Amino acid sequence: MFVFTNRIRIRDDGQASSSRPVLLAGRMLERFAPLLSLSLFIGVWHWLSLRYPPFILPGPGSVAQRFLEKIADGSLPFHALVTLSEALPGLLLGTLAAFALGIPISRSRLADRLLSPFIVASQGVPFIAVAPLLFIWFGNGPLTKVLVCALVVFFPIVINVIAGLRSAPQTLRDLFRALNATPAQTFMKLELPAALPFIFAGLRVGGTLSMVGAIAGEFLSADRGLGFLINLGNSFYDTPLVIVGVLTIVGLALSVYGAIRLAERALRVERWAA
C-alpha cells in the first residue's frame, strides 16, 4: 500500500512539472497579447499600404513621421488638450445629470413614469440632429461642445445608475428599515455601494463616448481641437494627418477608460459585484 501511494505521488508530481511550462507559456502569452495584437495590426497595415497609393492609405512610417512633426511643432498636443478639455467636463456634466434624474427614478414609480420618456427621447433622437440647435442657442464656443458630450454620455450612465440603485437586495432593505435607518443612511450604506459596479460600468462607456461627442461638436463648428485637425487634413488630402488625428483620439479614449478603470480598482468596486 505504501509503494502504491508513493507511485501515485510520483505520477502526480510528474504531471504537475510537465504542466508548469504550459501554464508559464499561457501567462506570458496573456501578458504580451496587447503587444502581439498591435504588432499584427501594424504588419497588416503596412502590407495593405503597399497595395494602395499613399494619399489613400499611407504606411505606418509616413504616419509616424507626420505624428512626430505635429508633436515637434506643438500643434498636436494643443489640439488634443482642447478636445480633452471639452470631453472631460462633458463627462462630468452628463454624470451629474444622470445622478440627478437616476436617483428619483430609482426610488419613485411616479418619477419613473414622468421622466423615463424624456430619457429615452434623449437617446432616440440622433445627437448629430440636436447639435445644430445647441450651436444656435449657445454659440460656437466650448460650452456647446461640452453640452454635446454631456448629451452623448448621459444615457448609458443614467441607465446604469437606475439599475444599480435598484439592485440592492430586498432582504437588506427590510433589515435597514427594521433598524430605523434614515433614507440618507440607506442610500449611502446600502444602495450606493450596491450600485458602484453598475455606475463604473456606465462611466467606462460614457468616458469613451465623451470623445465621440467632443469630435462631433468640433466637426460641426470649431477652429481648434482634434476634430478641426482631421477636417484640416481632409481638406488638403493630407491622409497621414487624418490618421494621426484618429489615432490620437483612440489614445485619449483609451486613457480615459484606463483612468476610470484604475479608480474602480482603487475603490475595490469588484467586491460589491456579488
**Residues 73-128: pLDDT tens digits?**
999 999 999 999 999 999 999 999 999 999 999 888 888 888 888 888 877 777 77
C-alpha to C-alpha distance for 261 and 267, rounded to whole angstroms: 10
Q: Is the pLDDT of residue 198 over 90?
A: yes
Q: How far apart are CA 206 and CA 98, in angstroms?
A: 11
List the end-to-end C-alpha distance of the chain, in Å, as a whole number: 46
Write down the domain spans for the chain. 2-49, 74-272
How much is the pTM? 0.82
Average pLDDT, the chain: 85
The three grid cell numbers given for residue 186, joined into one nine-digit string: 440607506
Distance CA 218, CA 220 (A): 5
Cβ–Cβ under 8 Å, residues 225 and 86 = yes
pLDDT in tens, 16-48: 455 666 666 667 667 777 788 888 888 898 898
CA distances to 124, 184, 202, 207 from 103, in Å: 22, 12, 15, 21
How many residues would you count in the chain? 274
C-alpha pair distances (Å), 271 with each of 10, 86, 197, 259, 262: 39, 33, 9, 19, 15
Predicted confidence at residue 241, as pLDDT, reads: 93
Span 40-69, pLDDT tens digits:
888 898 898 888 888 888 989 899 999 999
Counting residues of the chain whose pLDDT is more than 70, the rounded percentage is 88
Report, at the CATH architecture level, how domain 74-272 is classified: Orthogonal Bundle (1.10)
User: What is the C-alpha to C-alpha distance for residues 269 and 140, in angstroms, rounded to an integer?
Assistant: 39
Distance CA 213, CA 248 (A): 15
Confidence tier at 272 by pLDDT (50, 70, 90): low
